[in-house]
Structure 1
Amino acid sequence: MRLRNIPRADSVLNECKEVVKNGAEYRGRWREVFGNSNPVHIEIGMGKGQFLLTLAKQNPKINYIGIERYSSVLLRAVEKLQNDSEIPLSNIRFICMDARSVADVFAFGEINCIYLNFSDPWPKARHAPRRLTSREFLSRYHKLLASDGVIEFKTDNRLLFDFSVAEVNASSEFDLVGSTYDLHHDIEMNQGNIMTEYEEKFSALGNPIYKLIASPKDLH
């Protein structure tokens, strides 16, 4: 996907106190960044931020970190935060980085939940390792998650979802806790669901939304 460059994005992100400029400096110390011992949840590929900002408002005793590779996309999340004066949020941070570097930024067992929402499907077979639910990425996540942590993944792409279920089942590090091929009509799985911008768009078109939850096997 070709993204439009926004020249002011870098300057806005540099001036925003919620944007962490060098995440690796805080590896193992993220609770110090927030000034509390609350659980830390991250969203990888957060897009424009609707999902994470909603969670942060609803759950003030959970710390949230949004990871987005593209500054022009992260800019939209920052603007949402800055333009929403309803509730000042102290429990959210952003990082502009590639997801492949997550193990350099977060320490062993430091994260309680990883959200993956409507990730790039990388449809060509040779690009499968780049998918955020590939075994290569699952191995990275296993290093970050607490023993009782979880991964929550949502998509409207059936091929990506089938691939993701197969990758979790084939992994030596994760168990598939739950899955659904029609989230919005699954009473149990849809409880407390927060919709992303993409989710609202695709579900309005009648597309089913798929979701899985995976947890680390007891290897710690």
Structure 2
Amino acid sequence: MRLRKKWWARPELEKSTAFISEAKSMKGKWQEEFKNSNDIYLELGCGRGGFVSKAALKYPDKNFVAVDLKDEVLIYVLKKIQEEELENIRITAMNIMGISEVFDKGEVKRIYINFCNPWPKDRHKKRRLTHTKFLSYYKEFIEKGTEIWFKTDDDELFEESLDYFRESGFALKYLTRDLQSEDFKENIVTEYEAKFKAEGVKIKFLVAELIEPKE
């Protein structure tokens, strides 16, 4: 979906302490930013913040960093943060290709990837957030035992992602091709998930654990 440019979005974001304008300057300093030692969970491609705002409410003892590319999207996340008075979320605008420069080794304890772009054309597949290329970026800062939670409606993306994870040293701890039929109590329904569920589309979901960290 193409978003209309909102020139006022960045100034509005920068008024809030929840927005991190220079994420790379925070490397190794995230617990200091949150003023506690709680685990940090990272959402890559947070969209309008439906998931991360619900997660932050459900897990007040966790800290959340939500990343998306566009200010025009993050302004909606900020609105949710302000409405719910959430202190345990920070948001930042950046290209996820640079994510390894944002966190120190072990700073992130879990990664969420929800309904990312499936990039179906062969020449574009390396842009997938689950591709081995991106998994290598994540391995720069996550440790053995760190989990990636991945959810999608796209069959091809899901099946090919299974190979990406295995090739990159991850074990599949949980896997379902029909999340709605499962009793997965920790599931948080995203905006896209609710839409697809109403249309009868089956949601694919997995939890992958890193067992072979980057040497």
TM-score of the superposed pair, with normalisation by structure 1: 0.93
Classify the secondary structure of the residue corresponding to 1:169: helix
Q: Using the alignment, how far apart are the partners of 2:129 and 2:91 within structure 1?
A: 19
What secondary structure is seen at the aligned counterpart in 1 of 2:5? coil
Counterpart-to-counterpart distance in 2, 1:14 and 1:202: 34
Asked if the contact 2:143/2:213 (under 8 Å) is kept, the reply is no
- In the alignment, structure 1 residue 69 sits paired with structure 2 residue 69: yes
CA distance in 2, matches of 1:31, 1:147: 20
Work out whether residues 45 and 66 of structure 2, in 8 Å CA contact, stay in contact via their aligned partners in 1: yes
Q: Identify the residue that residue 166 of structure 1 maps to in structure 2.
A: 163
| Partners of 2:98 and 2:79 in 1: CA distance | 25
Which residue in the other structure is 1:138 paired with? 135
Task: Tell me how large the CA RMSD over aligned residues is.
Answer: 1.3
Tell me how far apart the structure 2 counterparts of residues 39 and 167 of structure 1 sit (CA, whole Å): 26
CA distance in structure 2 between the aligned counterparts of 1:137 and 1:175, rounded to whole angstroms: 17
Q: CA deviation at 1:17?
A: 1.2
Q: 1:96-144: CA deviations, max 9, x gaps? A: 1111111010111211000000001111111111100000011111122
State the 1:182 CA deviation: 0.1
Q: Which residue of 1 aligns with 2:31?
A: 31
Distance 1:167 1:137 in 2: 10
The sequence identity of aligned pairs, in percent, is: 37
TM superposition shift of 1:218: 4.1
Q: Which runs of 5+ in 1 are unaligned?
A: none
CA distance in 2, matches of 1:63, 1:146: 18
List alignment gaps of at least 5 residues for structure 2. none
> What TM-score, normalized by structure 2, do the two folds share?
0.95
Looking at structure 2, the residues matched to 15 and 64 of structure 1 have their Cα atoms a distance apart, in angstroms, of: 19
C-alpha separation between the residues in 2 aligned to 1:62 and 1:146? 18
Shift of residue 164, structure 1, vs aligned partner? 0.8
CA distance in 2, matches of 1:58, 1:10: 28
> After TM superposition, what 4+ stretches of structure 1 lie above 3 angstroms from structure 2?
none
- Equivalent residue number for residue 118 of structure 1: 115
